[in-house]
Amino acid sequence: MNCKYSKKFKNYLEFLTNRLIPHMNHQEYTYTLQYEPTADPEDDNTLASCDPYDTKYFEYVITIYPPLFEEYKKKRYDYVSNTMLHELCHMVTGGIVGFAYKHIPNHLADEFTKIEEQQTQRLTKIVFDLLPKDWYLPKEMEKK
């Protein structure tokens, strides 16, 4: 069944992304949020993904999957915002990671992916903890 993302959810993700970009020093990038109607074929539980390895023209795409919308509907805003921040942190780790993927042997790729995800998540936690309390709550969307 195809997921129908609400306008409210899309606005919320735009709010989170625009709120986070200045903290990530990503202002030179143009981003697109792409909404997949069906689950990630590789992993049903994927919330979102970002491809940070081809940003030659300062553009990147964050792909959103139905499970992230489910979390939003459960009002798990901390989890949703953490996920969006994690995807943006991939833009920070992506340069060195993209270079490494070109040069490491295939048999080490899975282990390397695990390290990439852990370092990206560490960075996510560092940035999240530095942000003001409750910054990610929908009521903050009203404030300018």
Size of the site for Zn ion (CB under 5 A): 1
Closest to 33 (Cα-Cα) out of 20, 14, 19, 53: 14
Pick the stretch among 21-29, 60-68, 111-119, 126-134 that binds Zn ion (CB under 5 A): 111-119
Beta strands in the chain (DSSP E): 30-35, 48-50, 59-64
Residue 138 CB, nearest distance to Zn ion (Å)? 24
Pick the stretch among 17-25, 67-75, 97-105, 110-118 that binds Zn ion (CB under 5 A): 110-118
Residue 80 CB, nearest distance to Zn ion (Å)? 15
Name every residue whose Cβ is closer than 8 Å to that of residue 133 and which is 6 or more positions away in sequence. none
Residue 84 CB, nearest distance to Zn ion (Å)? 11
Q: How far apart are CA 117 and CA 50, in angstroms?
A: 12
CB 112 within 8 A of CB 101: yes
Looking at the Cβ atoms of 75 and 122, the one nearer to Zn ion is 122
Residue listed under structure tokens 């340069």? 95
How do 59-64 and 30-35 pair as beta strands? parallel
Looking at the Cβ atoms of 98 and 138, the one nearer to Zn ion is 98
Pick the stretch among 36-44, 57-65, 74-82, 114-122 that binds Zn ion (CB under 5 A): 114-122
Looking at the Cβ atoms of 40 and 117, the one nearer to Zn ion is 117
Positions that interact with Zn ion (CB under 5 A): 117
